[in-house]
Amino acid sequence: MTTADTTRPATATRRLRRPKGMTAHVLLVLAVLISVFPFVWTIVMATNTTEDIYKSPPKLTFGSHLVENIRHVLDTIDFFGSMLNTIVVACVTTVLVLFIDSLAAFAFAKFDFPGRKVLFGTLLVFMMLPLQLAVLPQFILMSEIGWVGMLKALALPALANAFGIFWLHQYIQNGVPDELLDAARIDGAGFFRQYWNIALPMIKPALSFLAIYAFVNAWNDYVWPLIVLTDPSHVTLQVELAQLHVGHTTDYSMVMAGVLMAALPLVVVFAVFARGFIAGATEGAVQGS
């Protein structure tokens, strides 16, 4: 068999793969454009006036009214005060969720104790229930301990996140070798030292994803803060932004400017934690290949 005969099948295979690769790239580009369009449309509305938004067809180009709309937002609501409250709640909630959920997931994944399967099954059942069912019991509990109207009433119900425990449990079960834990036990390491020195460094990608998930949930939460925060000086950003809709006519350009300002911290958080998540996922793929 000549060299030309052996290269023909490889060349034909590459020609067949090329259209498939082009189709995949086109689909990915379309998916990115569809995902980015709502954010771009928010910027367009925030930089124009409400009259421009109501035009038919609507204006699709950026305007020059962003500073004016931002000034209206700051004059109408206490934006930075409510943002500070939200930052405190979201950061505290995220840190506590990462610690408590990873601790519980490590115990479920790597330790055998009485009732483990029943408890984990109960956890899965609670994960399927809608969060609205817990609003009334949570409010009664906060009222009994005197936390109604306080920011700490927002952090406590979010600590034991069922999805976070399940997510980390699956990651730890497959990503933390039992041999390392057995070796640590032989060296005299207890439960917490195994968790802190062995498990946590190995699950950084999963923790990065959970940090994004917990922070975004705490940042965007509206119903529970609206119910439990009775002090106007302690309201969170989402509750404060809702005040922009008060009245018979809504200035949608001002509302979109407030939404845009509220979304910027989420972009920063995603940029910080997504780097660790993607790096860890890529490292695992390279090691497994």
Mean pLDDT by 10 residues, the chain (289 residues): 53 58 86 89 91 82 91 92 94 94 94 91 86 87 91 86 91 91 91 92 89 92 91 89 77 91 88 71 46
Q: How big is the chain, counted in residues? A: 289
H-type alpha helices, the chain: 3-46, 50-53, 66-76, 79-110, 116-128, 135-144, 152-155, 162-175, 178-186, 191-194, 200-202, 204-220, 223-228, 237-241, 252-288
- Residue 242 CB neighbour total at 10 angstroms: 15
Residue matched to tokens 């229930």: 129
Token couple for 6: 């052996």
Q: How far apart are CA 227 and CA 142, in angstroms?
A: 11
Question: In 3-state terms, what secondary structure has residue 61?
Answer: coil
Separation CA 144–CA 136 (nearest Å)? 12
Query: What pLDDT, on the 0 to 100 scale, is given for residue 14?
Result: 57
**10 Å Cβ neighbour count for 98?**
20
Structure confidence at residue 80 (pLDDT): 93
What local confidence, expressed as pLDDT, does residue 246 receive? Answer: 66
pTM, to two decimals: 0.83
- Give me the pLDDT at residue 193, please: 93
Predicted confidence at residue 279, as pLDDT, reads 60
Q: Residue 210, CB half-sphere, CA atoms under 13 Å: how many?
A: 30
Tell me which residue of 106, 126, 110, 129 sits closest to 118, measured CA to CA.
126
Peptide bond into 38 cis (omega under 30): no
